[in-house]
Structure 1
Amino acid sequence: MTPPETVLPEPTWHDLRDAHVARARRWTDPHQERRQRKEKHPVLDFLFTYYSHRPAHLERWHPGPGVVLEGASAEEYLRWSAYRSTPDGVTLGPLSPGRVATASFILDLLSATASRPPRLGCFGLHEWAMVYRTPDIRHAAWPLRLGPSGTDEVVESSTIKCSHFDAFRFFTPPARPLNTLEPSREGQVALEQPGCLHANMDLFKWAYKLDPHTPSSLVMDCFELAVDVRTLDMRASPYDLSALGYEPVRIETERGRAEYVRAQSAFAERAGVLRARLIGLCGGLLSAVGGGGASGDGTSG
Structure 2
Amino acid sequence: MGERVLEEATWRARTAAHEARIEAYVGPHLARRDAGVKHPVHDFLFGYYSQRPAQLRRWHPGYGTVLAGGAASHGGLKGYEATDDGGARVTDAHVTGQQVLLTTLRRLLAATAARPASYGCFGLHEWAMVYRLADDETRHADWPLRLGTAGTDTVVEQHRITCTHFDAFRFFTPPARPLNTLSPAADDRPAFEQPGCLHAGMDLYKHAFRLSPMICSDLVADCFELAWDVRQLDMRAAPYDLADLGFEPVRIETADGKREYAAAQAALAERGAPLRARLVAECDRLLAS
What's the TM-score bracket when you normalise by the shorter of the two chains?
A: over 0.9
Distance in 1 (alpha carbons) for counterparts of 2:112 and 2:104: 12
Q: Which residue of 2 aligns with 1:16?
A: 14
**Which of 53, 56, 59 is the aligned partner of 1:58?**
56
Whether 1:231 aligns to 2:232 is yes
How far off is 1:275 after superposition?
0.4
Per-residue CA distance 1:186-225 (angstroms, 9 max, x = gap): 2111110100000110000011111111211011101110
Would you say the 8 A contact 2:29–2:43 is kept in 1? Answer: yes
Is structure 2 residue 76 aligned with structure 1 residue 76? no
Question: What CA deviation, in whole Å up to 9, does each residue of 1:259-282 have, x standing for no partner?
Answer: 101111011111111001110111
Q: CA deviation at 1:87?
A: 5.4
Secondary structure of the residue aligned to 2:23 is helix
2:189 aligns with: 188
Matched residue, 1:43: 41
**Aligned AA (2:229):** D
1:82 aligned partner, one-letter code: G
Give the Cα separation in 2 of the matches to 1:101 and 1:22: 33
* Residue in 1 that maps onto 2:250: 249
| Alignment partners' CA distance in 2, 1:278 and 1:236 | 28
Higher relative contact order (CA 8 A, sep 6+): 1
The alignment's C-alpha RMSD in Å is: 1.2
| Consecutive unaligned residues in structure 2, runs of 5 or more | none
Residue 116 of structure 1 aligns with an amino acid whose one-letter code is: R
Task: Name the SS for the 2:75 alignment partner.
Answer: helix
Kindly provide the CA deviation profile for residues 107-147 of structure 1, in whole angstroms up to 9, marking residues without a partner as x: 11001111111111210000000000111100000000000
Give the equivalent residue in structure 2 for 1:296.
Answer: none
For normalisation by structure 2, the TM-score amounts to: 0.96
C-alpha distance in 2 between matches for 1:165 and 1:239: 22
Aligned residue in 2 for 1:133: 132
Name the residue aligned to 2:207. 206
Q: Name the % identity.
A: 57
Matched with 2:281 is: 280
TM-score normalised per structure 1? 0.92
Match of 1:291 in 2: none
Contact between 2:76 and 2:82, CA under 8 Å: does it hold in 1?
no
Equivalent residue for 1:297?
none
Alignment partner, residue 152 of structure 1: 153
Separation in 2, partners of 1:70, 1:214: 18
Which amino acid in structure 1 is aligned with residue 228 of structure 2? Answer: V
Q: Distance in 2 between matches of 1:181 and 1:247?
A: 30
What letter corresponds to residue 78 of structure 1 in structure 2? G
Alpha-carbon shift at residue 251 of structure 1 (Å)? 0.3
Aligned partner of 1:84: which letter? E
Aligned residues: 285
* Equivalent AA in structure 2 for residue 163 of structure 1: T
Q: Paired residue for 1:101?
A: 100
Q: Give the stretch that moved more between structures: 98-107 or 52-61.
A: 98-107
Partner SS state of residue 202, structure 1: helix
Give the counterpart letter for 2:121 in structure 1: C
Query: 1:31 is matched with which residue: 24, 29, 32?
Result: 29
SS in 2 for 1:79: coil
- Offset of residue 69 of structure 1: 1.3
CA distance in 1, matches of 2:241, 2:261: 16
Residue identity matched to 1:166: D
Unaligned runs of 5+ in 1: 289-301
Write the letter of the residue equivalent to 2:3: E
Aligned residues of 2:252 and 2:261 also touching (Cα < 8 A): yes
Aligned partner of 1:110 in structure 2 is 109
Instruction: Indicate yes or no: 2:157 matched with 1:162.
Output: no
Q: In structure 2, what is the Cα distance between the partners aligned to 1:210 and 1:80?
A: 15
Structure 2 counterpart of 1:26, one-letter code: A
